[in-house]
Amino acid sequence: MLRRGKDQHESVLVNFDVDRSAVVAARRDPRAFEALYRKYVAQVYNFALYELRDTHAAEDLTAQVFMRALDGLPSFREQSEPPGSSFRVWLFQICRNAIANERRRTRRHPEGPIELALDVASTDDVQTEALDREQLSRAWELIEQLPTERRQALVLRFVEEMSTREIGEVLGRSEGATRVLIHRALRTVAAQIGRGSDASGS
Amino acid sequence: MHQEADDQAIQADAYIEALLSAHRRMPIAVPADEGGTEPLGRQAGVRDAIRLLEKGLPRFHPSFLFEEQLADRLRRQAEVTTGPGSAPTAKVVPIAVIHSQGTGARMADRRLLVGGAIASGVSIGAAVIAWRRARA
């Protein structure tokens, strides 16, 4: 799409926020919110499931997030620079707050094993169903041991496939700080893998 | 030291992006595993961690029943918002060129205002005509 810069005589090509038209439509008519819901319901559910480790709790939280988003849509303002989606960042900010509230309310940390989630939740595609359960269980166990922010950063990066910039916006950090946060989390995971192989080798 | 940590973080991020892009079947080459020239050559542990997490953290999908029930709930909530007592729907006046992102947001607000004003104007006009006809 064509947009003019500060200089009125100079036109530049820019990428607009991918959800802008859907958000405008939903603001005009809340019934159009369904398109945004369909697009992001699985992503929000995933994030909630990885954090809460309980399918019912993840469903409740997903419902909470979308009801809040629908109610709060008139006050939503685009924050991030395109390309990407300000709406998605906003949705995950709501989700993150809801998770923090849920934790405060229940005063417990997730302890459910991966098997519980795998038995109940249906996986996104056939490929993931064929995943090595041991590998799956190992990865789940490794990220579970991380501090909340590092774990969330890894889930947003690997599961939601967000860019470092988007993750930074969700977590309230700069892009550079987020990149370092992810790298530190990876080094912790790497150290755990090393410890695991040392233990099995000895 | 700080710069080195930043550089390693950038390398790790590029490697993740390449793996995820390959997974999405985008035409981006994933860095080779072997050899000393690859970006993560000195971070073998980090590379292994990335590979494990890329394969070992699957996406789950909510149940169909849950998704449809929540869609229904949101639809009902949206109906309440757009019910008979709610504000008139604004008409969109197309604007060909948006000068900047900041003013773009303001323009979006103005479009709604213009739409509301037109709707109000039409309503008042219709009421005046009806009143005159009633008097005639």
- Using CA atoms of A150, A154, A155, A156 in order, give the dihedral in degrees to the nearest 10: 100
| A170 inside domain | yes
Write out chain B residues lying below 8 Å of A62, CB-based.
62, 66, 70
Q: What is the count of structural domains for chain B?
A: 2
Q: What is the mean pLDDT of chain A?
A: 81
pLDDT above 50: residue B115 = no
A119 near A166, Cβ under 8 Å? no
Greater confidence (B105 vs A28) lies with A28
Tell me whether residue A9 is in a domain. Answer: no
Do B75 and A34 form a contact (C-beta atoms < 8 A)? yes
Interface membership of B107 toward A (CB under 8 Å): no
pLDDT at res. B117: 44
Range of the domain at B49: 2-56
Whether A28 is covered by a domain: the verdict is yes
User: How far B104 CA lies from chain A's nearest CA (Å)?
Assistant: 10
> What is the per-residue pLDDT for B103?
37
Q: What is the pLDDT of residues B59-103, one digit of tens each?
A: 888 999 999 999 999 999 999 887 655 554 444 444 443 344 443
For residue B94, the model assigns a pLDDT of 45
- Are residues B129 and B75 part of one domain? yes
Interchain proximity A138–B105, CB inside 8 Å: no
Q: Which one of B16, B49, B63 has the shortest CB-CB distance to A122?
A: B63
* Domain count within chain A: 1
Q: Given a cut of 80, is residue A68 above it in pLDDT?
A: yes
Question: Per-residue pLDDT tens for B28-57?
Answer: 444 555 444 455 656 788 998 998 898 888
State the pLDDT at residue A181: 96
Whole-angstrom distance, CA of residue A6 vs CA of residue B67: 45
pLDDT of residue B132: 72
CA distance A106 to chain B (A): 23
**Coil, strand or helix: which one is A13?**
strand
**Model pTM above 0.80:** no
Q: What's residue A185's pLDDT?
A: 95
Q: Is the pLDDT of residue A95 over 70?
A: yes
Nearest-CA distance B120 → chain A (Å): 16
Residue B29: HSE in the Cβ half-sphere, 13 Å Cα cutoff: 5
Domain of residue A194, CATH code: 1.10.10.10
pLDDT in tens, B101-113: 443 333 333 333 3
Chain B residues with CB under 8 Å of A33 CB are 74, 78
- B52 to each of A112, A137, B11, how far by Cα in Å? 21, 11, 17
**Range A144-167 average pLDDT:** 94
Domain-embedded: residue A1: no
| Yes or no, beta carbons of B60 and A143 under 8 Å apart | no
pLDDT digit string, tens, across residues A110-124: 555 555 555 544 455
Task: Output the furthest CA–CA distance in chain B (Å, rounded).
Answer: 95
Could A143 and B57 be called an inter-chain contact, meaning their C-beta atoms sit closer than 8 Å?
Answer: yes
B124 and B73 housed in the same domain: yes
Pick the closest to residue A178 from A187, A168, A163, A189 (CA basis). A168
User: Are residue B125 and residue B76 in the same domain, yes or no?
Assistant: yes
- Decide which of B11 and A147 is more confident: A147
